[in-house]
Structure 1
Amino acid sequence: MGEGAAKELKSRWLAAAQLGLVSSTFSTLIGQLAASQLGRDAAVDWMTVAAQWADFSWALVFFGLFGRWTSRLAPRTLFWLAIPWAVFTSATEWFGLVPLFPFFQPIFTLQQPYWIGFLVHLSSALIYPLFAWLRWPLRRAPPTSAVRFAKRWAAGALLVLATFGLVSVIDGLGWPLPTLSRDVAGDQRYIRHMVTHHEQGIELAKLGKQRAQDPHLRALAALMVASQQSENRIFDRWWRGWSSEPMALCSSEERLAMPGYLTSAQMADARNAADGEFDAVFIRLMSLHHAGAVQMADNQWHSSGDPRLRLMAHAIRHEQQGEIALMNNVTGIEAVRQATRNMLANNL
């Protein structure tokens, strides 16, 4: 690059900030549009993710702080660096920055499995090849191979957004992508049972939202309500898209056989508990209920069912073990340790 051309380049910090805006916007949109395909509700996920500014900040770190080494990398090299950079950034947040210093928010790590943050950061890092184009003032980028590659990459990113948008619209109209299950009957049984199990969990969590004396427990109960309601909406949408028959109600025998499904007497204990005793009763009963859901989700995760349903089951297994830890005020290093174990297995 000639001296004259180099003088026309923007500050790498300014270009990094612009790239951060583009990459964080892209990852946010992809997250919103792809959430339903992964059994996620983006609105609920935002209850435990403080802000999307993290992707903006990581772009500043990559091209600003490390810009002496990264700002001249070819777009193809930036593409190959996307996965390791996403692993590094998501792991730094999940294992350290958010649950420990400086944010001290164990709910993020305990309630959301690591792979969610990884996918968000990966979608952001995949926009980094645009840096070669954004480094130049508007409409003054020379027709170099790097700039041409970046422009084609931008067009591809827009096509990806449009594709996810179309799939999201079709899914929202009640036509999800066809099931890929090798055990349709098992998937249907799991959906029916988990919907019923969640309905009781929502009833109990609403009591906690209304009556818990500890404000943190009250807020956690509100999150449980939102999470399980959104999961039931996803289950219902998948059922209607994958089955021509309406979802049958679970029989009393099925409810009795469900792990963690509380008896009428146990639910009455929660409703009738004195104010000073309610929190302890709620934690005990919700822990039993969650343990049952974790067992059901773990079985589905290890099944031969639809990959989306299995991935959602993995998230449920992780989040409900994490919520038990949160009800028992687990924080710090212990929260990270438990979250790591919960991501890998049923530990109840």
Structure 2
Amino acid sequence: MRSFTHRTVRKFALVGAATATGLLLTACGSDDGKSGMDHGGTSATASASASAAPSASASGAADAASAPGAFNDADVMFAQMMIPHHEQALEMAKLAQGRAEDAEVKKLVTAIERAQDPEIRKMRAWLKGWGRPESAGHGGGGGHGMAGMMSEQDMKDLAAAQGKAFDRRFAERMIAHHDGAVDMAKAERKDGANPTAKALADDVVRTQSDEIAALRRILDRL
């Protein structure tokens, strides 16, 4: 009888220990569920947070993240003015189709299209993320008052040219156009606050200065 009682007590003790261990593991699991990110785990809460991220991006967070950090009025003006400036450069490049004759002019046209179309999309995203309008009426008349912008008559004259005459007129007009863009980009580098916007301004100064030099060489031999 004593032996039976001893075995029974031992059995109950083992069961009690197992139960206590299970409760402890459950409690730990509950804690991880509440602070899984602290433990480096993949809790349901963490998964829910991850799945909620796209919704935040859809509401504009992704656009703001495309130009993180502080921004000021100079950054906003840079984007608002450079967008129509780039758009006109793309219009000029489009006119080269079927009109340009010089191989180097055609090569520069392709480079302008590849660089400036993505930059327009970037700057639109910045303005959206910053909660600013794309256009603030700078210069008026669709931006034709900005440095280097061509008038409607200038565009008509360019469209009317063909072959070498087009190449020469395109080079002359694009040099003036790029000069205006470089001036705006230098102002952004000086007065802007947003690192991403200032980095784009650096790119504009570098690439368009190189293209101005190439266009001048083209003019010298035409």
Structure 1, 266-275 or 284-293: larger mean CA deviation? 266-275
* Structure 2 counterpart of 1:143: none
Secondary structure, counterpart of 2:135 in structure 1:
coil
Q: Which of 102, 109, 117 is the matching residue for 1:221? A: 109
| 2-structure distance, mates of 1:174, 1:304 | 19
Distance change >3 Å, CA 212–CA 274, structure 1 → 2:
closer
**Quick check: 1:301–1:314 contact (8 Å CA) kept in 2?**
yes
Q: How many residues align?
A: 160
Q: Which of 82, 94, 99 is the matching residue for 1:211? A: 99
Distance change >3 Å, CA 187–CA 173, structure 1 → 2:
closer
Distance change >3 Å, CA 328–CA 304, structure 1 → 2:
closer
* Structure 1 counterpart of 2:69: 180
Deviation at 1:210, TM superposition (A): 3.9
* Structure 1 counterpart of 2:79: 191
Structure 1, 317-326 or 246-255: larger mean CA deviation? 246-255
| 1-structure distance, mates of 2:119, 2:67 | 19
| 1-structure distance, mates of 2:62, 2:71 | 25
Q: Which of 170, 179, 190 is the matching residue for 1:302? A: 190
Distance change >3 Å, CA 178–CA 277, structure 1 → 2:
closer
| 1-structure distance, mates of 2:178, 2:77 | 19
Q: Which of 276, 293, 304 is the matching residue for 2:164? A: 276
Gaps of 5+ in 1: 1-165, 331-348
Provide the aligned C-alpha RMSD in A.
2.5
* Structure 2 counterpart of 1:102: none
Q: How does 1:269-348 map to 2 (within 5 A)?
A: 269-329=157-217
Secondary structure, counterpart of 1:248 in structure 2:
coil
Deviation at 1:180, TM superposition (A): 2.6
Deviation at 1:257, TM superposition (A): 3.2
Secondary structure, counterpart of 1:328 in structure 2:
helix
Deviation at 1:275, TM superposition (A): 2.5
Q: Which runs of 4+ in 1 moved over 4 A?
A: 170-173
Distance change >3 Å, CA 222–CA 239, structure 1 → 2:
same
**Quick check: 1:211–1:278 contact (8 Å CA) kept in 2?**
yes
**Quick check: 2:62–2:129 contact (8 Å CA) kept in 1?**
no
| 2-structure distance, mates of 1:259, 1:178 | 25
Tell me which amino acid in the other structure corresponds to 1:180: G
* Structure 1 counterpart of 2:129: 241
Tell me which amino acid in the other structure corresponds to 1:192: Q
Deviation at 1:248, TM superposition (A): 2.7
* Structure 1 counterpart of 2:137: 250
| 2-structure distance, mates of 1:258, 1:219 | 26
| 2-structure distance, mates of 1:178, 1:267 | 33
Secondary structure, counterpart of 1:203 in structure 2:
helix
Gaps of 5+ in 2: 1-52
- Work out the percentage of aligned pairs sharing the same amino acid: 27
CA shift digits 1:78-104 (9 cap, x unpaired): xxxxxxxxxxxxxxxxxxxxxxxxxxx
Distance change >3 Å, CA 210–CA 221, structure 1 → 2:
farther
Q: How does 1:1-348 map to 2 (within 5 A)?
A: 173-176=62-65, 179-181=68-70, 183=72, 185-243=73-131, 245-248=132-135, 250=137, 252=140, 255-329=143-217
Length-normalised TM-score, structure 1: 0.42
Deviation at 1:329, TM superposition (A): 3.7
**Quick check: 1:303–1:310 contact (8 Å CA) kept in 2?**
no
| 1-structure distance, mates of 2:71, 2:189 | 13
| 2-structure distance, mates of 1:280, 1:177 | 38
Distance change >3 Å, CA 253–CA 303, structure 1 → 2:
same
Tell me which amino acid in the other structure corresponds to 1:268: K
**Quick check: 1:211–1:218 contact (8 Å CA) kept in 2?**
no
**Quick check: 1:196–1:250 contact (8 Å CA) kept in 2?**
no
Deviation at 1:256, TM superposition (A): 4.0
| 1-structure distance, mates of 2:67, 2:157 | 43
Larger Rg: 2
Secondary structure, counterpart of 1:191 in structure 2:
helix
Deviation at 1:278, TM superposition (A): 0.7
Secondary structure, counterpart of 1:265 in structure 2:
helix
Secondary structure, counterpart of 1:310 in structure 2:
helix
